[in-house]
Amino acid sequence: MQKKIFIIFFLILLSCSGLKDSKGKYNEIVIVSSKKDKNICFSYLEEIFSETVHTPIEERLYDIKWIDPLNFKDYLNYSNVIFVSIEEPQDSTIDILVNNFKNEYSEDIFVLKNVYAKNQTLLFFSFKDSLKMLSDLSDNKEWILENINMNISSGLDSYMYRNGRNTAIEDTIKIHYSLDSKIQKDYMLIKKYSLDNNFLWIGRGYPYRWITIKKINYLNELFIWEKLKDYVSKDMPNVKIVDFYKNILYESDDILKIQGLYEEDFSDSGGPFVSYVKLNRETKEALLVSGFANNPGKNKNRLLKELEIQIKNIIGDY
């Protein structure tokens, strides 16, 4: 009883204080679980967060950190925290912690936002046993990832624009592409817009990141990959798109997401790129907004994620 009273009092005290920025690496997910429960759920939760990206080395999208419930108070102000409780076998510490919130929200799986810090997602999982856990995790996998990804993007977006925006480049994009964009302050023009090729190239310093905007005509969206390679070779003669780890998927009915690798001649290096293609099937026009990351010998996953956020802040809602 004393432990339960202490936990409730501690949680209320923290949540009532002024919120500060959340802690932890941008993609870090802290999972609070007893040793008994961890033995049951470890492989299933690790699988949910196992997605990787080739940059070209294989990098995990998420950094998982498992902690004991006795240390949970040290991580309550982290950005992404998951609390896991499996009733059978019983484990008083984590069960008390999760049930305290569960009694308030009457759900076995639920999310709370910005409880102890800004840009924070707290996910609570309560399962009767391992069979229920398997069923619920399978049914809610996409919802779990959606909440984590939204919070990661929100945190990075706040960080990226903390010093302001480049309104001059935003105005240029508005004039030539009729887009209401949001550009980081430290981006610069690399290649000015040309009416001949409907192409604009901006970038920022080390580690190098480039953003290009290109409007093209197309006959068949199945050949967008070749169109992408063609415009890059003409408008960015030092860059070559390669076919390794090519990935194309539909983000929505009229938005394609393309991922892959590129090579850069001047620095004899390369890295990952991501393109978002907005299709207009009536006019057979497509807007390609692409991001290129270059950070030889170091991880590039965060750079790629920031490029995606910047691209979405150009191409708009969909």
Alpha-carbon distance 99 to 218, whole Å?
56
Q: Is the dihedral of CA 114, 159, 58, 203 positive or negative?
A: positive
**What is the pTM assigned to this prediction?**
0.88
Structure tokens, 79: 């950005």
pLDDT tens per residue, range 215-238? 999 988 889 999 999 999 999 999
Which are the contacts of 225, defined by CB distance < 8 A and separation ≥ 6? Answer: 246, 248, 258
User: How many other C-beta atoms are found inside a 10 Å radius of the C-beta of residue 14?
Assistant: 15
The CA angle 83-88-93, to the nearest 5 degrees, is: 45
Spans of all domains in the chain? 2-160, 167-315
Alpha-carbon distance 290 to 307, whole Å?
8
**What SS3 class is residue 129?**
coil
- To the question of domain 167-315 being in CATH 3.40.50, the answer is no
Q: What pLDDT score does 152 carry? A: 98
Positions in the chain whose pLDDT score sits under 50: 1-10, 12
Q: What pLDDT score does 267 carry? A: 78
User: How many other C-beta atoms are found inside a 10 Å radius of the C-beta of residue 263?
Assistant: 15
Alpha-carbon distance 243 to 35, whole Å?
44
Alpha-carbon distance 154 to 309, whole Å?
9
